[in-house]
Amino acid sequence: MYKTAAVAMATVLTLLGCQTRPQQDELYPQLLIGPKAQGYLQIEGVQQGVASSDLLRAGVRLYNRSRTEQILRYRFSWFDAQGFELKGLAARWERQVLRPNEPVTLDRVAPGPNAVSYRIQLFDLQSPTASTTQGIDG
Amino acid sequence: MSTSKTLIKALALTAAFGIAAGCTPKTQLLTPGAADEPVTMGLSGSDFAQAASDAVQSMLASGAVDRNDGKKHVMVVSTVLNDTMQRIDTDQLVKKIRVDLLRSGKVLTTTAIGLNGAEDKMTQAYAELSQSRKIDRSSLVRQRLTAPNMSLSGKIIQRNNRVDSDKQLVEYYFQLTLTDLANGLAVWEGETPIRKLGSAKGTSW
């Protein structure tokens, strides 16, 4: 009985360890977090608002719960009503150094008034991104 | 004997070419934001993108370019000084800002008016078309140029400092100001510092 449970537990742990796909956060569906970043990111909340009258503004409050400094690679993706991704500087990959337990807020204003939804991708610097869309670099 | 010498020479040459070809760095396309994106001591495209992004985000978040009368601001690009040790075309910064402000739907940029004349010389050339006999006058549109109401100016500064004996700190400051031309007041100002620590042997220009 114990043996079976131990084997099952080992299998589950192995599968978790081998997980390479980024996962959508259950509490915050706008977040797409990479496998390595999931190990040290603690999400405190996602904010949404409006800037300059009609531009969607989104943000995420987080901190690094590990004991070492981490480098986060993140990107805000913006979508219009038809689901097409909008390009712009607000959709570029950026980096953020996360010191242990230091709260950080990342927020961006949408590139245009036609943005109605967004997604925030949070990856560790060393993790490859799952999405093939890379936006533009400026 | 001579055949074997020739064979050895040919093998040596082939090996030399093979080694040389193998040592040649491959040209590769860079993925934006990738872990292996090279970091330079000088200013690179990603630095300009970072500075432009910070400026536009700050302008939009502050509400400085928002209007409640349904109209859009018309911006003219004034002087952006390059006070660095590098030869920089400041349009690398300004163009990114213009593109993003246009996308935001808040600001249009005039290409007909500028400190050094029109950026798009066609505006002036079009005005002279009415003098030409080759032009069908009925196809001409009466020009009414829109005057700008905002001006973007700025400066890029570089400071080099030695750190210990073998490192240098290179600091760049992207300073920008948006001025309301109706009253000469700065309605938005921003500064993006970009700091790089590297070998003192390298140069940043």
Say if residues A76 and A120 touch (Cβ distance below 8 Å).
Answer: yes
Same domain, B154 and B191: yes
| Residue A112 touches chain B, beta carbons under 8 Å | yes
Confidence at residue A21, expressed as pLDDT on a 0 to 100 scale = 67
> Does a structural domain hold residue A74?
yes
Token pair recorded at residue A47: 């904010």
On whether both B78 and B158 belong to a single domain, the answer is yes
Domain shared by B101 and B170, yes or no: yes
How far from the centroid of its chain's Cα atoms is residue B169's Cα? 23
Cα–Cα distance, B136 to B127 (Å, whole number): 14
Does residue B191 lie within any of the structural domains? Answer: yes
Confidence at residue A132, expressed as pLDDT on a 0 to 100 scale: 42
What's the pLDDT score for residue B187?
97
B11 belongs to a structural domain? no
Question: pLDDT confidence of A11, banded at 50, 70, 90?
Answer: low
pLDDT at A119 over 90: yes
List, for residues A61-73, the tens digit of each pLDDT value: 999 999 999 999 9
Residue B161's Cβ-side half-sphere holds a number of Cα atoms within 13 Å equal to 9
> What is the span of the domain harbouring residue B170?
43-110+146-205
Task: List, in order, residues 6 or more apart from B4 with CB less than 8 Å away.
Answer: none
Residues of B in contact with A84 (CB under 8 A): none
| In-domain check, residue B6 | no
Instruction: Tell me how far apart the alpha carbons of residues B73 and B53 are, in angstroms, rounded to a whole number.
Output: 19
> B64 and B52 in one domain?
yes
The verdict on B56 and B124 lying in the same domain is no
Q: Is residue A34 part of a domain?
A: yes
Q: Which residue has the higher pLDDT, B160 or A136?
A: B160
Q: In this structure, are B98 and B126 located in the same domain?
A: no
Contact criterion met (CB < 8 Å) for A53 and B61: no
User: Do B67 and B159 lie in a common domain?
Assistant: yes
Question: For the residues A50-78, what does the mean pLDDT come to?
Answer: 95
HSE of B13, CA atoms in CB hemisphere, 13 A: 6
Residue A52 in contact with partner chain B when CB distance is under 8 A: yes
For residue B183, being part of any structural domain is answered with yes
Domain for residue B20, yes or no?
no
ipTM, interface predicted TM-score of the complex: 0.79
pLDDT of residue A138: 36
Between positions 56 and 75 of B, the ones with CB within 8 A of A are 56-57, 60-61, 63, 65-66, 68
CATH number at A47 reads 2.60.40.3230
pLDDT, tens digit, 9 for 90 and up, residues A102-118? 999 999 999 999 999 99
Reported confidence tier of residue A134, pLDDT bands at 50, 70, 90: very low
The percentage of chain B sitting over the pLDDT mark of 70, rounded to a whole number, equals: 92
pLDDT < 70: residue spans in chain B:
1-3, 18-23, 33-35, 202-205
Q: Does A50 touch chain B (CB under 8 A)?
A: no
Residue B93, domain CATH: 3.40.50
Q: What is the mean pLDDT of chain A?
A: 84
In a domain, B170, yes or no: yes
Confidence of residue A120 (pLDDT cuts 50, 70, 90): very high
Question: Is A16 part of any domain?
Answer: no
| Cβ burial A42-64 (10 Å sphere, 16+ → b, else e) | ebeebeeeebbeebbbbbbebbb
Residue at A134 is within a domain: no
Contact B61, A57 (CB under 8 A): yes
CB B188 within 8 A of CB B177: yes
Distance from CA of B24 to the nearest CA of A (A): 26
The domain total for chain A is 1
Query: Does residue A133 form part of some domain?
Result: no
Q: Is A108 in the B-facing interface, judged by CB distances under 8 Å?
A: yes
Give tens-digit pLDDT for B69-128.
Answer: 989 999 999 999 999 999 999 999 999 999 999 999 999 999 999 998 899 999 989 989
The number of domains in chain B is: 2
Instruction: Tell me, yes or no, whether B203 and B171 share the same domain.
Output: yes
**Residue B172, pLDDT score:** 97
What distance in Å separates the CA atoms of residue B39 and residue B196, rounded to the nearest whole number? 9
Instruction: Inspect the interface and report whether the beta carbons of A109 and B61 lie closer than 8 Å.
Output: yes
Count CB pairs under 8 A between chains A and B.
Answer: 79
The reply to whether residue A73 touches residue B50, judged by beta carbons under 8 angstroms, is no
Spatial contact of A86 and A79, defined as CB atoms under 8 Å apart: yes
Q: Which residues of A touch B35 (CB under 8 A)?
A: 73, 125-126
Question: Domain limits at A88?
Answer: 23-124
